[in-house]
Amino acid sequence: MTAMLRDTELYEKDFYTWANEQAAYIRAGNFDQVDRENIAEELEALSRSEAKELKNRYRLLLTHLLKWRYQPNLRSASWVNTINRERLAEIPDHLQANPGLKSKKDDLFREAYRLARYDAIGETGLADSVFPTDCPFTLNETMDPSFWPA
């Protein structure tokens, strides 16, 4: 069995062992033994997961801002905590750890709103017509700690 075929089988059947083997090959400088194609695929998957994490953080923040605006009688300390945590810590920390995402943040924010709208509809029980199809907040407003939609 060739090394490449063995690596592909190991990758498919035992990712943990495959990943540790690949790391050992790289550390030892045995680049001819490295499963380049699957390593490249995994690195691309990691970058996609970092983008998805930012989109999910925007989604959570936007969902809470929509609920804040459209259910003022249900506002709670828990909502305040979630909004502040995402604005002041989670999103800025994620962008600081992944500065390459800064160029994608506007697109991810737009994508997140579509999902946040559905979340807000489901969580509030309000009609979908209550929530605008386009985000009623800018990214700057959303991230501004002094912005609380009326």
pLDDT by residue (tens digit) across 26-43?
999 999 999 999 999 999
In the prediction, which pLDDT does 2 show? Answer: 53
* Res. 3: pLDDT tops 80: no
In angstroms, the CA 98 to CA 102 distance is 8
Residue of 80, 107, 102 lying closest to 91 (CA atoms): 102
Do 6 and 59 belong together in one domain? no
Domain contains 6: yes
Tokens representing residue 31 in the block: 């680049």
For residue 9, the enclosing domain spans 1-34
Do 16 and 57 belong together in one domain? no
Do 52 and 108 belong together in one domain? yes
Do 27 and 95 belong together in one domain? no
Domain contains 149: no
Do residues 98 and 65 make contact, with C-beta atoms less than 8 angstroms apart? no
Give percent above pLDDT 90 in the chain: 92
Do residues 149 and 132 make contact, with C-beta atoms less than 8 angstroms apart? no
Tokens representing residue 22 in the block: 């690949």
Tokens representing residue 51 in the block: 């983008």
Do 71 and 10 belong together in one domain? no
Do 71 and 113 belong together in one domain? yes
* Res. 6: pLDDT tops 90: no
The torsion region of residue 147 among left (phi > 0), alpha (psi -120 to 50) and beta comes to beta
